[in-house]
Each structure stands twice: as C-alpha cells, then as structure tokens.
Amino acid sequence: MTFVRRSLSLLTLALSLGCQPEIWLSEGDGRVDLDAGRDAAIVVPPDANAVDASEVDASDAGVDAAVGRDCEVAPVTVVRVATTGPLEAPTFATSGRLTTLRYGVLVPPAASLTTTDATTLVVSDDEGTLLHERTLRLDDALGAPTSTATLHSLSSLASDEGFLVLTPREIRLLDADGLGDAVAATLTTPPSSVWQRRAAWIDAERFVFVSDTPDLLLAVFDRTTSEVTTTTISATNAAGVHVDGGGVTITSTGASSDIVVYDPDLSGAETLRTTWADGTELDARFLGAGFVDGERTWVIRDAAEFRTNITAYRISPPDAPVGGASTTLLGPLVGSREGAFIAITSENPTLAIYGLRAHAFSMLATGFAEPPLVEEERDGENVSILFFEPAETGTASLTLVCGRH
C-alpha cells in the first residue's frame, strides 16, 4: 500500500491554509497541545518528542516519495461552499479501495455559491484531484428542491464501488464516478432529517435510516430487492442511534440510561439491553458504538462538562464492560462511527480518532471552524478528513487531508 506508514510516534504538520491551522497526529500516545491562549493541554500517555515535518524528508517519515499521495503530505482544496446550518451542510463519502479510491462531496443548493436549485456532486481521485463535477436535481416529497440530501459510501463489504444518495423522496445509487440516474428506491416516508446523517449499512446489502414517522421507526433499503421496508424499531426519545454489523444500538435520553442493541436481522429482537450505571445519566455521553472482527466496543465519556475523560469499553455480556484506551478532551463532544474508526469532535479545535482494530486513540488538533467530516478509506486502514476552512464572509473551502490513522 502507498499510504503513509509512520515510524514517528508524533508527527507535526504545519498546513498552509488561509487561517494557518496546525495539525498534530499521534498513534494514541504523545501530547496534544491546544493554542497557548487555552488553559489545557490534552494529555494521553506520554511518549517521544514531537518532530517538525519541515525537518523530515519523505524517507524519514515513512513516505514513499515516488508514489505518495498529494493529500497525504499537504491539504487539497476540493470545493468552495457557502456556510449553512448543520442539516444543509455538504456531506462526504468515499468509494473504492486502494488504487480505485474516490472521494465524493455532495453540495446541496443551500451551500452553493450561486443561486441554484441543483445539488452538485464533486468527485476527486485518491490524490484529491478533481475528476468530475455533476449537477443533480434532488427534490423533497412535494417536488421542491431539497438541501437535506446526503451522500454515503457503499458498504465496505460490497463487491462493487460507488455512492448512495439519500433524499426525502428517493434513494439513488451512483457509480464511482458519480454517474447513474436510476432511482434505486422511491420512499413513501422521508428519512428524519435530524438522524439522516447517522444512516449506515448494517451489512453489504442493507442500508438503515430513521424514517420521519411519528414513532421514528427505522427503515431499511435492501439493494437485492430495491425495496424499502419499515421495521418495528423506534428511535423515539433516543439520545443516539448507531448502526453497524453488530446490529442497531440505541441509547435513551433522560434518567433511564438504557442501552439497547437490536439484532442485525432488524426483526426487533434485542441481543443486549443494559443500564449504564455510573451514577450519572448517560444521555449524550455515549459517543459511539462499533462492531469489528466480532468484538463490540462502546466509547463513553465521563460526566465532566469541561475537561472530560473518554474511554473505549469492550462489551462481552454477561461479563462487565472492560475499560481500555482512554483520552481527555474539552467538551462538549460529538461522536460518529466511520467504518473501523470512531471519530470524536470537540468544540475546541480537536479531533480524536479511535481505531476499533488498533484499540487506540489518535489525536488531531487544528483551527477548524466547523466539525470536520471523517471517512474510512483504504480497506479500513486509514481515514480521510474534510475540513471547513473559512474563506470570504459566509463562505468556506472544503479542504481534504487523507491517509491518517
């Protein structure tokens, strides 16, 4: 593989972006310092000294200079957009593996720099170089242009490559170049816009999302039949909905602190129900769930509101959860699963990536204006990160950094 193989425990990259942010990366150890104006360094178990990337050549950093990707060693601007609310912001997805890797960014009308009814799909190669820019007419249930459509990768278990577009009235499947006009399924009930960005594949063929029904029932799109069916599983009063190969994990709001895992067959059968009893309501402290190589992991933060400790727990009922790797971030925090990784973003300039296979946290800190978008790449070996970097008033550049883990 041609991605970066780090021989350094801490690599400091100075990125020449408009706001001059800085990135720190580690393999779950080392120290990550925020800017000097902040009171708190973020500390994980200490290790070696930081090395300035400007003083390291490609061979020292484990980079094959002949074949290294552009976006691994310097940020690449993919597209400029207008700033919007979170439910109308662009979405990010990957297609393919290794040499066929593609990056897709879906820019809804609300985020376009020009007045338009069209959604734009930007597809770049594995270097971040633009390949295609395509306009799509995506409507809501009433036939008006929608800005809530989202772009999703196909399942990493699937044999083919491409993207899925989820809109209020239909699901479209596109190839790796963003082409394909056929509607894979027509939706009688739109997805819940609140939960739409948590939609995910539960296996190679079934894509699960929360529908906008009164009970917020989960719906599933089956690629083998092109049918969408509604399940009996409800996300009502949910603090989190997490879909992966181990099933659907739903956490509750309020005092119950219940965690329920529904069987991957989506029949409504529960494979696990427990109450997280650490003396404080769980609510949004549950940051992510992952099921990789037969092992279930939950990432949960403690009750501190400012400086909060985050721990990855291995779950193997009937045994008690076993705490593993941990780190400390400044809250509030938002987490999401991205393939074999769980990405955790804080409101201060920090991003933590937990590797479900490596059982370790990697840290990245930068002056991003909005939470970055994270996607798994390269057969689950790495992640790519898309940053919103402020440009002119009311606009931002979406900047790609790839090959991180």
CATH number for 86: 2.130.10.10
Give me the pLDDT at residue 378, please.
Answer: 85
Distances (CA, A) of 243 to 18, 69, 77, 198, 315: 36, 31, 31, 8, 16
Nearest Cα residue to 271 out of 249, 243, 289: 249
First-to-last alpha carbon distance for the chain, in angstroms, is: 14
5 in a structural domain: no
271 in a structural domain: yes
Longest dimension (CA), the chain: 58
165 in a structural domain: yes
d(CA 281, CA 390): 36
E strand map for 126-216: 130-136, 150-153, 163-166, 170-174, 183-186, 200-201, 206-210
162 in a structural domain: yes
Beta bridge partners of 119: 136
What are the pLDDT digits (tens) for 373-399?
Answer: 999 998 888 999 998 888 888 999 999
321 in a structural domain: yes
1 in a structural domain: no
Residue 55: CB partners within 8 Å, gap ≥ 6? none
Number of domains in the chain: 1
4 in a structural domain: no
pTM, full prediction:
0.83
2 in a structural domain: no
Question: What is the domain extent for residue 173?
Answer: 10-404
Helix segments in 254-364, DSSP class H: none
Over the chain (405 residues), what is each successive 10-residue block's mean pLDDT? 29 30 36 31 28 30 51 93 93 91 97 96 95 94 94 93 96 93 88 96 97 97 96 96 96 90 97 92 94 95 90 94 94 89 84 94 75 88 90 90 86
| DSSP annotation string for 168-187 | SSEEEEE-TTS----EEEE-
Strand order of the β-sheet with 286-292 is 286-292, 295-301, 307-315, 322-330
Nearest Cα residue to 118 out of 91, 86, 146, 140: 146
